[in-house]
Amino acid sequence: MSSFSLAASIFTGGYRSFGASVTLLRTLASTHVNVLNKRRTCNNSVAWFSSSHRRQCGCQSSKLEVSYTSSANSCSDYDRLLPCPPYSRPLRIEHLVVSEEARVLDYICKSLDLPPLFVADLIHFGAVHYALVCPKPPPTATPEQVALFEKFTAPLLLKKRASIKGKTVREAQKTFRITHGDQLLEAGTYLRVHVHPKRFPRCYEVDWKSRIIAVTDSYVILDKPSGTTVGGTTDNIEETCATFATRALGFKFPLKTTHQIDNCTEGCVVLARAIEYCSEFHGKIREKKVKKLYLALAASPVPAGIITHYMRPINIAPRLVSEESKERWHLCQLEVLDCRKVPWPDAVTEEKYSVENCGWPSKDFAYECKINLLTGRTHQIRAQLAAIGAPLVGDSMYMPAAIAKMANPELDPYGKYRKQYTDESDEAVDVADWIARHGKEPTIAIGLQACEISWDDGKQNYKAGSPWWRCRLA
């Protein structure tokens, strides 16, 4: 059996995108890849033909280091996905091309030497995906790897497969979740197995009934706790707010997500009881009939009024914003309704909610701002307040860059004191350096709560409970 490795990585857009990687079973040896990088890079970096990734994320590291060593997998390392461990195991993703028709559960067990109950758990978690045809290799692939891809996607071979008749190759490369272990796989099918899915231990610590704000025939309003995901991730659709709220209410049919807020953010979320209301609520959002108010705990005072930025149209964190309008950049606007000085959360509160110490120089006072979100961009409040020197308490992604900018305002290539560039390559270098000054995504909580949501001119209006930083007073 021949084996080789590709010492390169794919960087794809999106928070969790792994669709451009494959391992050809029985042609390539199993490899272990050790990736040491920022969480931002880890979530968007997959080495083609590699079978496992180990992740350690730190705020200060921006260099990608990849090493390869041959290894065999062992059943002794695996049992069940539940009970949930209090920590996340290093990222491991396996990419396979099915060599012969088989049941998906049997094939994964045999190929990866994993116990059947563990693989069944992975399928239940939504951690196994398939495509009818292997994804295309990246530009950095070697001639040998390209040749292997071409072998499995040869027109004569694909023509014989009835499952892709009438589909373009690109359509056949689209990935879908495996939903049942008995699902039959035909030869040539691509599999992506998230052997170590991202876990959410916080789900098991929450009294979910106490987080229900309202229940109607069409929807449920949930006061989402921080450290949880609303509707799931690429590799975990089990440990979600929708799942646990459904169980807490004893509903027969699962609740469905209508919108998202960050895992590290708490507050009001609307969950639909039927798919029809999802469409209805999405329509209200498009028509700007939904109003969202937030409480933000900033490290510095924020002036009242409308704050405007333009966000770089790249779907990857950190989100960069500019004070000046740029072509194709997205308008970001929020209105600060009020800002009041409050005590910085004490050490006990910060420890309880795993609030990270990001090195802010003064921790006597924080500033609680009430914000009307006028446009709804990912990380908008976090990125905009950090850009004006008032990052959110505990925001380990944006606060490190804001601190660096305090010492040297020119570091922000899109800020008020940015350099004037005559060479695009110089600007690209500074942008890369600016991105590297940001940290990792927070673990549990930051100073941000979706405190109120309303629609239909206020006819439907719901409020969250006290934010975590007031818990000692509640």
Nearest Cα neighbor of 367 from 339, 387, 403 is: 339
Is it true that the peptide bond before 116 is cis, omega within 30 degrees of 0? no
Compute φ and ψ for 308, nearest 5 degrees.
Answer: -120, 130
Q: Angle of helix 380-387 relative to helix 399-407, nearest 10 degrees?
A: 10
Helix (H, G, I), strand (E, B) or coil at 468: helix
Q: Angle of helix 116-124 relative to helix 104-112, nearest 10 degrees?
A: 120
Those residues with Cβ within 8 angstroms of residue 201's Cβ, 6 or more apart along the chain or in another chain: 84, 85, 86, 87
Q: Give the number of other Cβ atoms within 10 Å of residue 286's Cβ.
A: 9
Considering the candidates 262, 395, 412, 430, report the single residue annotated as catalytic. 262
Q: 288: phi > 0 → left, psi -120 to 50 → alpha, else beta; which?
A: left
Lateral strand order in the sheet of 190-194: 93-97, 190-194, 128-131, 176-177
Nearest Cα neighbor of 427 from 410, 407, 440 is: 410
Measured distance between the N- and C-terminal CA atoms of the chain, rounded to whole angstroms: 64
262 noted as active-site residue: yes
How many alpha carbons lie under 13 Å from residue 277 in its C-beta half-sphere?
15
In whole angstroms, what is the distance from residue 63 CA to residue 241 CA?
Answer: 34
Task: Tell how strand 31-36 and strand 65-70 pair up.
Answer: antiparallel
In whole angstroms, what is the distance from residue 215 CA to residue 271 CA?
Answer: 10
Dihedral, 272, 330, 370, 205 alpha carbons, nearest 10: 50
In whole angstroms, what is the distance from residue 235 CA to residue 77 CA?
Answer: 19
Nearest Cα neighbor of 425 from 433, 415, 437 is: 433
In whole angstroms, what is the distance from residue 118 CA to residue 78 CA?
Answer: 7
Kindly state the tokens that stand for 226: 């921080």
Kindly state the tokens that stand for 437: 């000054």
Residues labelled catalytic: 262
